[in-house]
C-alpha cells in the first residue's frame, strides 16, 4: 500500500487514557478519519493497580480488550511507532509500514525504567520485590502485603517525571490499615522513602497525609534518592544530601523511574534543552511549538502540572476543541488551566482527593467545597467505584 492510501486526517499515537479520550471526542465531533496506533491488545486502567496492590481489586478488574474500548468509528492500527518525520508528515511503524497524517496527536505516555537504578530490575524478579506501577507486580504485591507477619517493608516513591507520582503511596496506607486491623502493625517496620521534601507538594494535602503517616507509625526518609538495590542481601541504598544509608527489607514496594519514549526526542518533537524529551507543546493549547500539525497531551507532553488521568479529561477537551478550530481554519483559542488530581487512598475506606490547578491552588470539583480534599469516605467511593465506571463507559469514548 502506498503512503497516499494510508493517510489519515488525524493520527493518534497511543491508545491509552489520553489517546482514546481525544480520538473519541474528535470522532463524536464529526471528524471522519481518526486512527489510533496502539500495539497492545489489552487496555489497562492504571489507577486500579494501586487497589490491586493494596488488596481491594483483582487484576482482571483493570483490563479490557483494546478492541472493546476503542471508540466506535475510530480506526485501530495494531502496531508500534518507531519514529516520526514531522517535516514529511509521516510516521514509521515497527512492521515497516509508513503512515501519513494531516494532524498528529502524540499520547504515548511514559515508560517504566526499572533499569535506571542498579539492582532494581533484579529485585523486582524476586518474591520480595513488588510495585503497583506494573500490573503483574501489583498482582504479586497483593498477597505479599496481605500475608506479611513481621519484618521491614520499604515503600519507595519515584522521582519526577512520573505518572501521578503521589499515588505510589496508596498501597502503603492500604497495607498499613490492613496490618493494624489484623493486629500486626506494631510488629512491622514500615519505611517510606521519597525524593520529595514532604508527603505532597501542596501544604494542606501534605498535612492530611502526614497525619496518616504519624497515625500508622511510618518512618520517613524525605529528600532521598534510591541509588542502588541489592536483591540478594535485600537491601536498598539511599542518598540524602552527602549521606548514604543502607536499609534492609523483607519486602520492597518500589515505584520505578519513568521517562517518555526515546523516539520522541530522536524524531525532533522535543525541545533539545529538555533533559527528559517530552513532546514540546504549548501547555495551555497542546499544539506543538515546533510543528503546527503536531499535538500532544497526557504523560508524554511537556505539561507543567502533575501528570494524571484526572488531568487528561480537561486536556482532551481543550485539545480537541483547538484542533477542531484549526481544521475549520480558525486559531486555537481554548486554554487549559492546569487542573489535575491525585487521589490518595489513606485507609481501606477513605481517600484524600488532591485536586489543584497549575498554580498549586486547591481546585475542588464541587466549587466552593474548600475542604473536599480532606480524608473522606465519599472520595473513596468515587475513586474506587464510580471513577472506573466513568472511565470505561464515558472517558474512553470521549463522552466525559
Ligand X SMILES: Cc1cc2nc3c(=O)[nH]c(=O)nc-3n(C[C@H](O)[C@H](O)[C@H](O)COP(=O)(O)OP(=O)(O)OC[C@H]3O[C@@H](n4cnc5c(N)ncnc54)[C@H](O)[C@@H]3O)c2cc1C
Contact residues toward ligand X (CB under 6 A) are: 13-19, 37-40, 46-47, 49-50, 80-81, 107-109, 132-133, 163-164, 167, 261, 298-300, 307-310, 312, 341, 343
Q: Give the C-alpha separation, 144 to 180, whole Å.
A: 16
**Cβ distance to ligand X smaller for residue 234 or 309:** 309
**DSSP-assigned states of every residue in 234-262:** TEEEEEETTEEEEEE-SEEEEPPPEE--H
Q: Give the E-state strand segments of 127-234 in sequence order.
A: 129-130, 151-156, 188-193, 219-221, 225-230
**Cβ distance to ligand X smaller for residue 49 or 285:** 49
Residue nearest to ligand X (CB): 16
**Cβ distance to ligand X smaller for residue 90 or 163:** 163
Count how many Cα atoms sit within 13 Å of the Cα of residue 332 in the half-sphere of its side chain: 25
Cβ of residue 209: shortest distance to ligand X, in angstroms?
15
Cβ of residue 327: shortest distance to ligand X, in angstroms?
22
DSSP state of 188: E
Q: Give the C-alpha separation, 390 to 400, whole Å.
A: 8
Beta strands 129-130; 151-156: pairing state: unpaired
Residue 210 CA, chain-centre distance (Å), reads 23
**Cβ distance to ligand X smaller for residue 45 or 234:** 45
Cβ of residue 200: shortest distance to ligand X, in angstroms?
14
**Cβ distance to ligand X smaller for residue 153 or 279:** 279
**Cβ distance to ligand X smaller for residue 38 or 375:** 38
Cβ of residue 286: shortest distance to ligand X, in angstroms?
12
**Cβ distance to ligand X smaller for residue 47 or 332:** 47
Q: Which residues pair with 89 in a beta bridge?
A: none
In 3D, which of 304, 255, 253 has the Cα closest to residue 278?
Answer: 304
Cβ of residue 160: shortest distance to ligand X, in angstroms?
13
Q: What share of the chain is helix, strand, coil (3-state, %, to 5)?
A: 35, 25, 40
**Cβ distance to ligand X smaller for residue 40 or 399:** 40
Cβ of residue 243: shortest distance to ligand X, in angstroms?
30
Whether 254 contacts 123, CB under 8 Å: yes
In 3D, which of 120, 91, 118, 116 has the Cα closest to residue 103?
Answer: 91
Cβ of residue 89: shortest distance to ligand X, in angstroms?
17
Cβ of residue 16: shortest distance to ligand X, in angstroms?
2
DSSP-based three-state secondary structure for 196: coil
Query: What are the residues whose beta carbons fall under 8 Å from the beta carbon of 274, sequence distance 6 or more?
Result: 265, 280, 302
Cβ of residue 352: shortest distance to ligand X, in angstroms?
11
Query: What are the residues whose beta carbons fall under 8 Å from the beta carbon of 183, sequence distance 6 or more?
Result: none
**Cβ distance to ligand X smaller for residue 86 or 310:** 310
Q: Give the C-alpha separation, 31 to 17, whole Å.
A: 19
**28: its cell numbers:** 463524536
Q: Give the C-alpha separation, 140 to 111, whole Å.
A: 20
Amino acid at each position: 500500500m502506498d503512503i497516499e492510501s494510508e493517510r489519515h486526517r488525524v493520527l493518534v499515537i497511543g491508545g491509552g487514557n489520553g489517546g482514546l479520550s481525544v480520538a473519541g471526542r474528535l470522532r463524536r465531533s464529526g471528524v471522519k478519519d481518526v486512527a489510533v496506533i496502539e500495539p497492545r491488545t489489552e487496555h489497562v486502567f492504571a489507577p486500579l493497580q494501586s487497589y490491586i496492590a493494596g488488596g481491594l481489586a483483582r487484576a482482571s478488574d483493570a483490563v479490557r480488550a483494546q478492541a472493546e474500548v476503542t471508540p466506535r468509528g475510530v480506526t485501530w492500527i495494531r502496531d508500534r511507532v518507531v519514529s516520526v518525520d514531522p517535516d514529511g508528515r509521516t510516521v514509521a511503524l515497527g512492521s515497516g509500514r509508513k503512515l501519513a497524517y494531516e494532524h498528529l496527536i502524540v499520547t504515548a505516555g511514559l515508560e517504566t525504567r526499572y533499569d535506571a537504578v542498579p539492582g532494581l530490575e533484579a529485585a523486582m524478579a524476586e518474591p520480595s520485590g513488588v510495585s503497583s506501577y506494573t500490573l503483574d507486580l501489583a498482582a504479586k504485591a497483593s498477597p505479599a502485603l496481605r500475608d506479611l507477619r513481621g519484618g521491614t517493608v520499604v515503600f519507595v516513591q519515584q522521582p519526577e517525571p512520573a505518572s501521578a507520582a503521589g499515588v505510589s503511596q496508596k498501597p502503603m496506607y492500604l497495607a498499613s490499615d490492613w496490618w493494624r486491623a489484623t493486629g500486626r502493625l506494631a510488629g512491622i517496620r514500615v519505611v517510606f522513602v521519597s525524593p520529595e521534601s514532604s508527603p505532597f507538594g501542596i501544604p494542606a494535602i501534605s498535612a492530611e497525609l502526614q497525619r496518616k503517616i504519624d497515625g500508622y507509625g511510618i518512618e520517613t526518609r524525605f529528600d532521598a534518592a534510591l541509588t542502588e538495590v541489592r536483591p540478594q542481601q535485600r537491601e536498598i541504598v539511599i542518598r540524602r544530601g552527602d549521606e548514604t544509608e543502607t536499609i534492609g527489607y523483607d519486602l520492597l514496594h518500589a515505584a520505578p523511574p519513568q521517562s517518555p519514549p526515546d523516539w520522541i526526542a530522536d524524531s525532533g518533537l522535543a525541545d533539545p534543552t529538555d533533559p527528559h524529551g517530552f513532546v514540546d507543546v504549548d501547555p495551555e493549547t497542546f499544539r506543538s511549538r515546533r510543528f503546527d500539525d503536531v499535538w500532544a497531551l497526557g504523560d508524554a507532553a511537556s505539561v507543567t502540572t502533575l501528570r494524571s488521568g484526572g488531568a487528561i479529561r480537561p486536556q482532551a477537551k481543550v485539545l480537541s476543541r483547538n484542533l477542531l478550530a484549526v481544521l475549520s481554519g480558525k486559531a486555537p483559542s481554548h486554554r487549559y488551566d492546569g487542573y489535575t488530581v491525585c487521589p490518595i487512598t489513606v485507609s481501606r475506606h477513605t481517600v484524600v482527593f488532591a485536586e489543584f490547578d497549575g498554580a498549586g491552588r486547591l481546585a475542588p470539583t464541587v466549587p466552593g467545597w474548600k475542604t473536599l480534599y480532606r480524608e473522606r469516605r465519599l472520595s473513596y467511593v468515587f475513586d474506587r467505584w464510580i471513577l472506573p465506571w466513568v472511565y470505561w463507559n464515558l472517558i474512553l469514548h470521549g463522552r466525559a
